[in-house]
Structure 1
Amino acid sequence: MLIQYGAALGDYLYDVFVAKFDFWLAFGLVAQLLFTARFLVQWISSERAGRSVIPIAFWFFSMGGGLMTLVYGIAKREPVIIAGQAAATIIYIRNIMLIVKHRGKASKTLDR
């Protein structure tokens, strides 16, 4: 019985990742890798600082992965992905804008 489930799982994985491999699957996988990379960046930065840190690279990976996932969702006509990534991308862009704004104010303060 276990062998039967293993074969069914193998067939499923082959169907999903090999038989249906095309440009959009590759694009979606790269988008997901970018999106996942943001957590690695955040974790490494936090470990180095010895406290929880969210570097600007986290937001750029979020934006890049989110935009690519949004494009993937649009191309594949996936309403859940479209709705989720459209809203999240706005948040990522806004966070980058706030960081840039804050850095601009900080550099003006240092110039005085």
Structure 2
Amino acid sequence: MDPARWTPERLTARDVVAHHDVTLSFYCRGCHLTVEFNVWKVGARLAHTPLQELRFRCVRCGVYPETLEVGRRDSMSGVRLLTIPLKPRAWDDGHRADQEAALRRAREKWESPGHR
């Protein structure tokens, strides 16, 4: 599918892997970093599932992101193509508790005197 026709509701890993210059990333509220990830790992099992329905998690701190950024790398700079608000299909009270705990740990880490 042509990137100009991508929508948050329909974009899948299969659509993205066909374009070598397209990147997927999210901003982690826990680490305060933008994390780029490998769409091939997602596509290996969930190629046809819309990315919007998947639940992603930061491997550093455990925080679940709220949006996913789709961009195109153009030499050293990048162009943002699409922002996808994440609406995971599998989300329950256990995940809410995990999110609150991960954010609390991240906040404590950032507020600790030796962090900066």
Superposition TM-score, scaled by structure 2 size: 0.30
More relative contact order in 1 or in 2 (CA 8 Å, sep 6+)? 2
Comparing both structures, which one devotes a greater share of its residues to helix?
A: 1
Superposition TM-score, scaled by structure 1 size: 0.31
Comparing both structures, which one devotes a greater share of its residues to strand?
A: 2
